[in-house]
Structure 1
Amino acid sequence: MRNVVKRFVGRHEKELNDELVKMALYYRFEPVVTNPFSGHEKGHVEKSVQVLRRKAFTKQYEFESIGHAQKHLDQAILELNLDSTIAVEQAQLQPLRGFYDYGITTKQTVDKYSFVHVNGNYYSVPDYLVGQKVIVKRYLNELKIVGSSQIIATHLIQKGEKQYSIDIRHYLTTFLRKPKSLEHSLVLKKTPKLRHCFLQYYQKTPRRFLQFIENHLSISLDQLIIQLEEEALKDHKVSKTPPSRAVNEARNQLQEYNLIHQVRKAANK
């Protein structure tokens, strides 16, 4: 959890963090913070989450899934709220003001390779944004990148560090100028299925491959690969690239190794 106070301005003024201010504006409450080294100023609800956690998960703390854990928590909350006075407060409640955007918002500068860096990982954006500022909204499992007041890229959150989430459609302008650079590009290396399709059917016609993608920007990557393969099979201008000599030799060596392994396994029995 972030600190409520982002920084101190003078001796008494405090600047609150942006996420708290956003939540306060949505739910219409006024944040109240204590002074430094003044624990006696804190309210009696300081450990409300800890109390609820102990009540709900002390006796049972292992579950088959998050869904089962959520049902258990819901039931525990119902039991704790049997004596609630919420009915008295409901008359004063106001309707919600639309959908609350719970994503963590930051500003990022697009690097020279058309990536934004989030938690040590790399996410692609359209290459015309190199050097510009964009807004990044990070959710639990998804990342949305906003530029010019519209969503320009969406990615799944990458686990770990130095991972890449790349969309080839973000680099079409660059590759159409230099189509031969596509074969050994990082874009294809990080999208194995698309790379396999390219090497198998379009290695000799990279521009045709890129133009097909440019004409089908609205479909998903999986659908794009299927249509690329269908286009290659029905169009005689796009020929399937046969396996190279090195690939055939590697396959033969692998078959020989498997045969030796089976013989040794039978001998050991």
Structure 2
Amino acid sequence: MLTMTQVKNIKKLYYSKGKKVNEIVKITGHNYRTVMKYLEKDDFNQTVGRKEGDKRGRPRKIEPVKPIIDRWLEEDKTAPVKQRHTAKKIYTRLKEEHGELLNVGYRTIAYYVAKRKKEVYKDEEGYIPLEHPKGEAQVDFGQAIFYEKGKRIEGHYLNMTFPYSNGGYTQVFKGENQECLLEGMKRIFEYIEHVPYKIWFDNLSAAVIMGKNKERKLVEQFERFALHYGFEANFCNPNSGHEKGNVKNKVGYHRRNLFVPIPHFENIDEYNKKLLKLSGIDMKREHYKKGELIEKLLEEEKDFMFKLPEKEFEVCRIKTVITDKYGKAEYETNLYSTSPVYAGEEVIVKATADKVVIMNKDFRTIVTHERIYDKYKESMKWYPYLEALARRPKAIKYTKFFNELPDIWKDYIDNQDNEGKKRSIKALMKMIEGDEDLGLINATKAIEETLNNGINDIDSIIATYYRIRNMGNIAINEINLKDNIPKIKEYQSDINIYDSLCKRQVPAI
């Protein structure tokens, strides 16, 4: 409790000096809640009489066992309903394990348990408690710029924070849709090997639909995800971001500490794995209020969380699509190639947070694309089309694929005869199979090196490609022989001896 002088100083800084609450916190050293408490306080009458609930002005006999009962009831949140403590079980257990502290009868215990259960299991829809219980989490998105393979992307990052310990994790995505939300949560669950028993959200469209009379309806995929992992999903009141202030603060904290300077990376999956580790390293610091390491407090929280389910939840969206005459499937305004074989056919699109997988009716993968988060764009995977082009090599010159090839490859294929074009296209198919981008980079390095060495046959280009792919871009140096190597007389074979065999008479039959 602050002195009147301290309270007066807080009010003076706010009303006379025009200081903001955060500035007052820094100046006075008091925490945010304390400052707000006294700024909002309008009754300074001295409290007269005994404290509420203390009729005789001295500690009640139940006080020593209250923390124990509270802990058992909190732990029950993650236990099956039929395996939670009854008042009778709590009383029996107190007698057995803490008999020296138990100075009241069963009826007193039963009354307190009933009261506490109402508080523990009350409907908290729309209201986050000021005192954060262990094992709860908050989730929200933030926006940040990053560069993938040199390309600037206006990205999004999902934040999951644990208010009790002030721990938090983040994952980067190119969108803010349902797949990104669920995939980010799933990765964090798997990394910490636990699931918070309750998670608070803003009114994210990826999770909830606002119906008539402001009724919330969970999106089906989100609801199945929540049921699979067992957590309770709670949502804040509309336009009440302050209700989940912990995650709002963590969104800013992650941006300042993890995304400055602007991140550059080659592979978003590898970068997200790195972010999980960096988030863990960041928790090796003291809690701003509790004086213990955040990572230690988070470990304590895990006792109040669920274990991971044995079966993994596959985060994806499935849709059936009819391809166009070129074998391209449309998904969310964007076109994804399949194969000429599937032109005008029904295919199955499976969309994850970062991939679009095209499958046939038997659910066998035809091709996998990076998911596009722009509008009206196209992703082409040329490998399935090259097989058709190999049968009609003259047509390759008029394809978009040919025009997008490096000049050195265009010139090489263009200068081949019909059979040479076929072999070149088939060789290129081998080199880009599995990873078109990396395959084409290595194929270009291979043809450049081979042609620079004065060799131009396709088999030599393929051999150079496999060396680069398996050993890296290490050129083979010319072998310089020493002068003391003895000269070996060149051997000349004499085939005249075989002519004499031809002169032998073959007996008539």
Q: TM-score if structure 2 supplies the norm length? A: 0.35
> Does the aligned pair in 1 maintain the 2:337–2:381 contact within 8 Å?
yes
Give 2:329's match in structure 1, choosing from 108, 116, 123: 116
Shift of 1:62: 2.4
Residue 303 of structure 2 is matched in structure 1 by 90
Q: Which has the larger radius of gyration?
A: 2
Residue 5 of structure 1 is matched in structure 2 by 208
Q: Which moved more, 1:152-161 or 1:67-76?
A: 67-76
Q: Distance in 1 between matches of 2:400 and 2:219?
A: 37
Residue 223 of structure 2 is matched in structure 1 by 21
Residue 349 of structure 2 is matched in structure 1 by 135
The DSSP-based 3-state class of the residue aligned with 2:326 is coil
> Does the aligned pair in 2 maintain the 1:197–1:225 contact within 8 Å?
no
Change in 2 beyond 3 A, CA 1:214/1:75: closer
> Does the aligned pair in 2 maintain the 1:107–1:134 contact within 8 Å?
yes
Residue 47 of structure 2 is matched in structure 1 by none
Q: Report whether the alignment pairs 1:182 with 2:396.
A: yes
Change in 2 beyond 3 A, CA 1:62/1:167: closer
Shift of 1:153: 0.9
> Does the aligned pair in 1 maintain the 2:359–2:365 contact within 8 Å?
yes
Q: Distance in 1 between matches of 2:350 and 2:230?
A: 25
Identity %: 14
Q: Report whether the alignment pairs 1:170 with 2:384.
A: yes
> Does the aligned pair in 1 maintain the 2:394–2:418 contact within 8 Å?
no
Q: Report whether the alignment pairs 1:198 with 2:413.
A: yes
> Does the aligned pair in 1 maintain the 2:424–2:458 contact within 8 Å?
no
Shift of 1:7: 7.0
Change in 2 beyond 3 A, CA 1:121/1:198: farther
Count how many residue pairs are aligned between Structure 1 and Structure 2: 229
Shift of 1:188: 1.9
Shift of 1:50: 0.5
| CA distances 1:38-59 after superposition (whole Å, capped 9, x unpaired) | 659x898634420223455568
Shift of 1:174: 4.2
The DSSP-based 3-state class of the residue aligned with 1:51 is helix
Change in 2 beyond 3 A, CA 1:133/1:96: same
Give 2:261's match in structure 1, choosing from 48, 52, 63: 63
Shift of 1:183: 1.6
> Does the aligned pair in 1 maintain the 2:389–2:395 contact within 8 Å?
yes
Residue 244 of structure 1 is matched in structure 2 by none
Gaps spanning 5+ residues in structure 2: where?
Answer: 1-175, 178-204, 265-270, 288-293, 460-509
Q: TM-score if structure 1 supplies the norm length? A: 0.57
Q: Report whether the alignment pairs 1:145 with 2:358.
A: yes
Q: Distance in 2 between matches of 1:232 and 1:111?
A: 39
